[in-house]
């Protein structure tokens, strides 16, 4: 676990240089099978390791992530390092500044960025198959997808390459790979973590969060990355709680909401069984289940995709092939020819499709019919949660309706892939926090995710419930076959 490594380093039982060396050895052994990374920073990481080792020798104060190697999704800006959102249109782009999360975790807390992780282009997808670098593979079964869009981060943690990685979640992109790869993934409340330096997909939905091996590590990272940031006007000015301290609070007498619609059609039998077993564990720990209805769940997918695509079409308008990236391959014709040719060539198919659909939904004449309607449905979904939280402390459900599917299986059936997001997207539409933790395996030995949704800024509560469940289940230390586990 990350916290154990940090403790060992601080007790001088191991040097940071050794930790970074062995991280790259592990990556060397598995990267050709997983393809989790799009860039690796071995030289810089080792240099930083040596510098950090000296801090302890010289009795200087050290940060809370002291020497911890981290993977960073390829849409979070790191000063002077390439960031591409797994898109050809951003090839060669190097931001001149750090995202706030990088400042907090790498600069201030002494973490070490060892590379950027693969993802679906501009975070559009649930499988990490829409990447200009090619797909990433699931450590539990290399013929399956790791989930998306933060699939590189999920696979790198699950496959033992790093103990923690950053992802972003617009409609489930942290929780989906956490579920499919058998790791912990937390999507914070909208506004809890600064989005400064996160390249936007759909800015009213996006949040950065951690993917880790255990709940304690997620709490640790959250404690360090959350908080108000004047550079992000949507970040909320509210003090950050001490998440690691409250993990072991008793959940006796607390109420778990069971939204019946989340357990209905489309669920794998094994997913339903394991999630119900998880609920029983929470009940045995003294929590009380309350059944509830979530009448507007059926509107989730059209609502989410209309809003996400509309915002994306506007956000992605800035990629004109001139301001960022390698530029146009051909300058013939007027500015509009260059603009549309470059975008046509350098954006992938899924991104082009979503820009077109989003532009359509926002266009005069259709705006009221599509975009406005989606905003209204978003309010209905928000209100379903509001009502639900009057009766319970957390809401639980499966994270994904199924376990990981095969690479290529859904690539020609985008609608089916969109429908997979039914249980994660409502959380983003409402702006709530949610965590996914592994709760078992199906008969093909693929991990199943258990989702715990909290009320606004109740990260503490979902981490507490997640920790209690994780400790009782005791499966989080299991390793996938790719690193010798079974
Ligand atoms: N699968 C969803 C989509 O494609 C969610 C992606 C995300 O959370 N970034 O939009």
Query: Could you give all domains of the chain from N- to C-terminal order, each with its CATH number?
Result: 2-256+391-483 (3.90.1300.10)
Cα-to-chain-centroid distance, residue 141: 20
Q: Nearest-CA neighbor of 308 among 265, 277, 261, 353?
A: 353
pLDDT digits (tens, 9 = 90+) for 284-322: 999 999 999 999 999 999 999 999 999 999 999 999 888
Residue to mutate (ligand 1; options 166, 308, 434; most atoms within 8 A of CB): 308
Residue 209, helix vs strand vs coil: strand
Tokens of 321: 């092939």
Ligand 1 center–CA 169 separation, angstroms: 7
Using CA atoms, how far apart are residues 220 and 184, in angstroms rounded to an integer? 13
Report the pLDDT value the prediction gives residue 322, as an integer from 0 to 100.
Answer: 85
Using CA atoms, how far apart are residues 6 and 26, in angstroms rounded to an integer? 18
Q: Between residues 266 and 166, which one has the greater pLDDT?
A: 166
pLDDT digits (tens, 9 = 90+) for 206-262: 999 999 999 999 999 999 999 999 999 999 999 999 999 999 999 999 999 999 999
Average pLDDT rounded to a whole number, residues 196-201: 98
Residue to mutate (ligand 1; options 75, 87, 148; most atoms within 8 A of CB): 148
- Please report the atom of ligand 1 found closest to the CA of residue 169: 8
Strands (E), 49-142: 69-73, 112-117
Residue 47, helix vs strand vs coil: helix
Report the pLDDT value the prediction gives residue 285, as an integer from 0 to 100.
Answer: 97
Average pLDDT rounded to a whole number, residues 366-392: 96
**Residue 133 gets which letter from DSSP?**
T
Q: Nearest-CA neighbor of 444 among 211, 19, 138, 184?
A: 138
Average pLDDT rounded to a whole number, residues 123-130: 97
Q: Nearest-CA neighbor of 256 among 240, 280, 231?
A: 280
| Angle ∠(301,302,308) on CA atoms, nearest 5 | 85
Report the pLDDT value the prediction gives residue 321, as an integer from 0 to 100.
Answer: 82
363 catalytic per annotation? no
Report the pLDDT value the prediction gives residue 414, as an integer from 0 to 100.
Answer: 86
Report the pLDDT value the prediction gives residue 486, as an integer from 0 to 100.
Answer: 65
**Set 36, 109, 158, 173: catalytic member:** 173
Q: Is residue 164 within 8 Å of 221, Cβ to Cβ?
A: yes
Which protein residue's CA is at the shortest distance from atom 4 of ligand 1?
Answer: 125
- pLDDT over 90 (residue 266): no
Average pLDDT rounded to a whole number, residues 112-132: 98
Ligand 1 center–CA 389 separation, angstroms: 25
- pLDDT over 80 (residue 485): no
64 backbone φψ class: left, alpha, beta (φ>0; ψ -120 to 50): alpha
Task: Find the helix or strand (DSSP H, E) in which 260 lies.
Answer: none
Ligand 1 center–CA 149 separation, angstroms: 6
pLDDT digits (tens, 9 = 90+) for 10-58: 999 999 999 999 999 999 999 999 999 999 999 999 999 999 999 999 9
239 catalytic per annotation? no
Q: Is residue 408 within 8 Å of 285, Cβ to Cβ?
A: no
Residue 393, helix vs strand vs coil: coil
Residue to mutate (ligand 1; options 73, 119, 124; most atoms within 8 A of CB): 124
pLDDT digits (tens, 9 = 90+) for 71-80: 999 999 999 9
Ligand 1 center–CA 334 separation, angstroms: 35
Q: Is residue 36 within 8 Å of 136, Cβ to Cβ?
A: yes
**Set 73, 104, 213, 460: catalytic member:** 73
Residue to mutate (ligand 1; options 73, 122, 125, 128; most atoms within 8 A of CB): 125
Q: Which residues does a 6 A CB cutoff place in the pocket of ligand 1?
A: 123-126, 149, 169-173, 201, 308, 421
Ligand 1 center–CA 125 separation, angstroms: 5
- Please report the atom of ligand 1 found closest to the CA of residue 205: 8
Residue 156, helix vs strand vs coil: helix
Ligand 1 center–CA 173 separation, angstroms: 5
Q: Is residue 259 within 8 Å of 395, Cβ to Cβ?
A: yes
Task: Find the helix or strand (DSSP H, E) in which 19 lies.
Answer: helix 16-34
73 catalytic per annotation? yes
pLDDT digits (tens, 9 = 90+) for 318-375: 998 888 998 898 899 998 999 999 999 999 999 999 999 999 999 988 898 999 999 9
- pLDDT over 70 (residue 402): yes
Report the pLDDT value the prediction gives residue 80, as an integer from 0 to 100.
Answer: 97
Parallel/antiparallel/unpaired status of strands 37-40 and 112-117: antiparallel
**Set 109, 149, 156, 168: catalytic member:** 149
Using CA atoms, how far apart are residues 473 and 410, in angstroms rounded to an integer? 31
Report the pLDDT value the prediction gives residue 457, as an integer from 0 to 100.
Answer: 98
Which protein residue's CA is at the shortest distance from atom 5 of ligand 1?
Answer: 171
Q: Is residue 396 within 8 Å of 434, Cβ to Cβ?
A: no
Report the pLDDT value the prediction gives residue 75, as an integer from 0 to 100.
Answer: 98
CB-based burial of residue 480 (10 Å sphere; 0-12 exposed, 13-18 middle, 19+ buried)? buried
pLDDT digits (tens, 9 = 90+) for 128-176: 999 999 999 999 999 999 999 999 999 999 999 999 999 999 999 999 9
Q: What is the DSSP string of 297-355?
A: GGGHHHHHHHHHHHHHHHHGGG--SSSSSS--S---S-HHHHHHHHHHHHS-HHHHHHH
Report the pLDDT value the prediction gives residue 32, as an integer from 0 to 100.
Answer: 97
Tokens of 316: 């992605």
178 backbone φψ class: left, alpha, beta (φ>0; ψ -120 to 50): alpha
The residue with tokens 């004449």 is 365
Q: Is residue 178 within 8 Å of 447, Cβ to Cβ?
A: no
CB atoms under 10 Å from CB of 260, counted, come to 11
Choice among 123-137, 150-164, 409-423, 446-460 with the minimum mean pLDDT: 409-423
The residue with tokens 């920073």 is 41
Ligand 1 center–CA 119 separation, angstroms: 11
């Amino acid at each position: 676990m990350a916290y154990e490594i940090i403790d060992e380093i601080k007790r001088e039982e191991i040097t940071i240089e050794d930790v970074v060396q062995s991280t790259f050895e592990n990556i060397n052994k598995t990267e050709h099978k997983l393809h989790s990374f799009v860039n690796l920073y071995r030289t810089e990481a080792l240099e930083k390791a040596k510098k950090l080792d000296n801090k302890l020798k010289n009795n200087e104060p050290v940060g809370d992530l002291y020497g911890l190697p981290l993977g960073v999704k390829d849409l979070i800006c790191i000063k002077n390092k390439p960031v591409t959102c797994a898109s050809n249109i951003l090839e060669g782009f190097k931001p001149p500044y750090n995202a706030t999360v990088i400042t907090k975790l790498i600069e201030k807390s002494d973490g070490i960025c060892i590379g950027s992780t693969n993802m679906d282009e501009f975070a559009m997808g649930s499988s990490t198959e829409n990447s200009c670098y090619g797909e990433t593979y699931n450590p539990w079964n290399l013929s399956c997808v790791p989930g998306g869009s933060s699939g590189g981060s999920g696979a790198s943690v699950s496959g033992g390459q790093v103990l923690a990685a950053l992802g972003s979640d617009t409609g489930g992109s942290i929780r989906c790979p956490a579920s499919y790869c058998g790791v912990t993934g937390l999507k914070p409340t909208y506004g809890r973590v600064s989005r400064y330096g996160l390249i936007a997909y759909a800015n009213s939905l996006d949040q950065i969060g951690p993917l880790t091996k255990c709940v304690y590590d997620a709490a640790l990272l959250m404690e360090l990355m959350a908080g108000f940031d004047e550079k992000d006007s949507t970040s909320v000015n509210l003090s950050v709680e001490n998440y690691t301290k409250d993990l072991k609070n008793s959940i006796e007498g607390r109420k778990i909401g069971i939204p019946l619609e989340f357990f209905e059609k489309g669920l794998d039998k094994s997913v339903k069984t394991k999630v119900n077993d998880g609920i029983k564990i929470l009940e045995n720990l003294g929590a009380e289940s309350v059944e509830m209805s979530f009448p507007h769940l059926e509107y989730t997918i059209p609502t989410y995709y209309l809003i996400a695509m509309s915002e994306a079409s506007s956000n992605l308008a800035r990629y004109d092939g001139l301001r960022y990236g390698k530029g146009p391959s051909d300058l013939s014709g007027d500015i509009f020819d260059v603009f549309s040719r470059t975008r046509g060539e350098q954006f992938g198919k899924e991104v082009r499709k979503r820009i077109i659909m989003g532009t359509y939904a926002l266009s005069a004449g259709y705006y009221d019919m599509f975009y406005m309607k989606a905003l209204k449905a978003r309010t209905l979904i928000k209100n379903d949660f509001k009502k639900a939280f009057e009766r319970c402390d957390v809401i639980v459900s499966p994270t994904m309706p199924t376990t990981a599917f095969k690479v290529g299986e859904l690539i020609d059936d985008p609608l089916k892939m969109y429908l997979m997001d039914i249980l994660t997207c409502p959380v983003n539409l409402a702006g709530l926090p949610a965590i996914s933790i592994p709760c078992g395996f199906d008969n093909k030995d693929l991990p199943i995710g258990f989702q715990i949704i909290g009320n606004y800024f109740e990260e503490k509560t979902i981490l507490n419930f997640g920790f209690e469940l994780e400790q009782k289940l005791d499966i989080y230390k299991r390793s996938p076959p790719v690193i010798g586990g079974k």
